[in-house]
Structure 1
Amino acid sequence: MSYVHHVEQFYGLPAFNFPSYADAADLPPADAVAWRLHREPYDAEESAEACWKRFTESVDLAKVRAIIFGQPWYDGDGGLTDEPLIELSDRLTGLEALFLGDLEDEQAMISTICHCDVAPILQAYPGLRELAVRGGEGLDFPVSGHDQLRVLRVESGGLPPVAAEHIAAARLPSLERLELWLGDENYGGGATIEQLAPLLTGEGKPALRHLGLQNSFIQDELAAAVASAPVVPQLTSLSLSMGTLSDEGAAALLQGQPLTHLQDLDLSFHFMSDEMMLRLWTALEPAGVRVDLTMKHEREADEWDEDGRYIAASE
């Protein structure tokens, strides 16, 4: 199962692929869709620059609320520079949501989708409310804070530890949902509990209600840290999915602080035993917590890997 697909909706709006050589009169209202700028290689009759120019001339930019950048703006060979987007910040005055790197597996492996420092984009758009990033190579988030950002999602096969550390430390007073796919250190990941420590305390993120620390080889350690993390009581949902969670991590969750205030606990894609799954279900479901224990996996140990556990998305 692939976790990497084109988004069909973004920021509560249907994704609309900006067509080739479209008549402006045939386009939807600028504020009614999330505009996807994407071209398949065999359809790329115009350059990214030409498409961007035509988009800016055909659409009422002041009313655009959400933009999705796909290929060739982001691909396995490099990414879009942020200058064209930043240069139009005085016209894209209603922009509230950005998705950077909307590519599927057959277009580019998630580990090869390149990015850069997103600080200039956040500084240019102080009204941005949602930022989604797919990929991680070259990504960084060196911002001290952003007042309006409500949703931050990073889908990565290897989130650079420095980027994870900067996100954890950033002051984001309006942030309600944070989802980080930490990934594999062989593909640029490897963030540690220590680097995520400010996030686990809730420091600088008083509005946070959903936390996802996912797709990691240290899922048991994350579960143990979450079990006593000060941020947990303020959450309504928690995800430790897509990683190597085993009975060890699940036991730490059960032995830690109460989780019965949560509405949702997503532990899908895991390596827990049936017995531990039953313990979790028995402890939390009667309290009204929706516990997702789907996608149980078995260890696949061999002579090169004695542990045999793996994460959902790395390459």
Structure 2
Amino acid sequence: MIHDFTKLNFLCEVTRIVRRAHTDIQVPEFNYYRTKRSLDPFKSYRDSGDVTSPYSYLTPIGIAIIFIYVLKNIIRDVVAYIGPAKDVISDYNCAKIDLSCIPEGKTAVFEWQKLPVFVRHRTQEEIARESNVDLQLLRDPEKDSDRVTKPEWLVVVAMCTRLGEIPISNAGEYRGFYCPCCCDSHYDASGRIRKGRARFNLVVPPYRFQNEHTIVIGRSRAELNTDHLIWVNTKKQYNTDKPRWITDLMDPLRSNGFENVEKHNVENAIPKNKCGREKFRKKNVEGKSVGE
């Protein structure tokens, strides 16, 4: 009994020893470092009239932006210094073609900047026939001499100027190129549109003769101002630094359609609706270059 009583007293004494830490520990104050407007911790900086707080955030952000801009310029200059020259990069866009493998009267297909290109070795008969064509009979008048550098070689982009189909070479009513798809367009041996729904001639890419048996399609930076480089888009000649893709050249065709197009020997243009087109075909006699 005595042992149990002493044990109970000991537990009571232990429970009585309680130290309230928050009563005797002094919390440090930083009022000495604060401004008079920020002494009250329950007021925002807007209520206290403190306008310097936003600048503490804007300053490091502005410094970071300037640092990133300077770092970007440094990285760009280093990459430009260790990289290849611009004229070398521009030469990568050129395609060299050996003409010795193309017999006379045949057409070969090559790739240039992911575009198919026709290279045709024309005969003397084709040269004479195309050079004597009356320009008034052409839908897109253009001389044969303006489309070739040498008369025996024709270089055109192998994409129809209406919807971008690849025409068939050595075919059609004019023994040039024929697009049997929806436009049914016929081109002559100079790549000029003669019949069908297409409105413009085949595009002539920029090219030059490196030697007698080699041509280079595309232009380098050192050759931008030369006169023997040509870029023909229907009625215009481009000599700009930036190459024009065939899709860019066909944008006005898609936007305007083929309505309101002047046809040779036809007073009215092809109507836009289907019923009008059927009446237009029946109205005009067979054999005119009005196009289906």
Write 1 or 2 for the structure with the bigger share of helix: 2
Q: Identify the structure with bigger relative contact order (alpha carbons < 8 Å, sequence gap 6+).
A: 2
Larger radius of gyration: 2
**Is the pair's TM-score, using the shorter chain for normalization, greater than 0.5?**
no
TM-score when normalising by structure 2:
0.21
